[in-house]
Amino acid sequence: MDKTSKYPLYADLGLIAVSFVWGSGFVASKNALNSMTPMMLMALRFSIAALLSGIIFRKNLRNLSKETIKAGCIIGFFLFSAFAAQMIGLQYMLAGKQAFLTGTNVIMVPFIYWAVKKNKPDKYNFMAAFIMITGLALLTIDFSVGFSFNIGDALTLLCAFLYACHIVVVGMFSKQHDPIALTVIQLAFAAIISLIYVFWSGEFTIVIPVPGLLNGIYLGVFCTFLAFLVQNLAQKHTSSTHAAIFLSLESVFGSTLSILLLGDQFTFTMLLGCIIIFLGIITAETKWSFLKIKQNNPEKITEH
């Protein structure tokens, strides 16, 4: 086995590590929001990540083409928009619940590809979408008071859609441009937009309690700088839809850590909804192939 044949394996392991770090980010974000506004938290985490990446990878920023800058800004737009919806929505819901709702982006990726690349999703994607809708209903609707779909649920589903778009554009552009340069540009774009907003709105502050500051630094260094660097590098060696299944484990890690560290209380109905959502994720990405007899020559991963 040559070195390049191991790249897909390294990519998968890297994406699993990213999903764990992002899962822990729900806990860190919930704690940090006790000390600052959602947009101030975004300004802090993205500024830290952008400065770190810009300093460490400054050589990759030499002689940037207009196409690379444009691609990085497009990725950065979806990154900023997704996180803005997520951070604002987190104020109105449990961190563990949001982790699973955010994970629904894996179902959206093939349908976005359908719109962009004209590649129609297969029957498993449609089955997964139906399963996902059922799980979402159990997870978000409070049946004791009738239909109840709050702003946190709506913003988190918007976040999932925007993050699905982010996965798609990363997959498209990381194969055409330097993934490290794309990482720096997208983080800088998100940082600049966040800073402009907090200065304009008057939310900017340097007086942040130590616990909030530590959580913000963790989010900036690990959940943003390192995580997005690994994602961009990994997606250069795997497909977007394949990456989505590993990144969807973020919801499992996020919910588990929220229960253990934040004491989130899940009702039986919410737990059932989470299980059904995860079933939908597995249906979309594995197509239950692991239940079939393995072939001697596994099929090469392709976009679908």
- Per-residue model confidence (pLDDT) at position 233: 83
Residue extents of the structural domains in the chain:
18-287
Mean pLDDT of 278-287: 76
Residue 292 DSSP label: S
What's the whole-model pTM score?
Answer: 0.79
What's the whole-number average pLDDT of the chain?
84
200: buried, middle or exposed (CB in 10 Å: 19+, 13-18, 0-12)? exposed
Here the tokens at position 104 are 């629904």
pLDDT, tens only, 183-217: 899 999 999 999 999 999 999 999 999 999 999 99
Residue that wins the pLDDT comparison between 189 and 236: 189
Sorting pLDDT into bands at 50, 70 and 90, what band is 299?
very low
pLDDT, tens only, 106-123: 778 888 988 887 777 778
Please list the alpha-helical segments (H only) found in the chain.
7-32, 38-56, 66-90, 95-102, 105-117, 123-140, 151-173, 179-201, 210-218, 227-234, 240-247, 249-257, 268-286
Residue that wins the pLDDT comparison between 98 and 132: 98
Share of the chain above pLDDT 70, in %: 88
- Given a cut of 90, is residue 232 above it in pLDDT? no
Nearest to 95 by CA among 257, 204, 206, 218: 257
CB-CB contact of 235 with 171 (8 Å): yes
Count CA within 13 A, CB hemisphere, residue 291.
Answer: 5
**C-alpha span between 286 and 298 (Å, rounded):** 13
- Per-residue model confidence (pLDDT) at position 302: 41
CB-CB contact of 101 with 158 (8 Å): no
- Per-residue model confidence (pLDDT) at position 49: 95
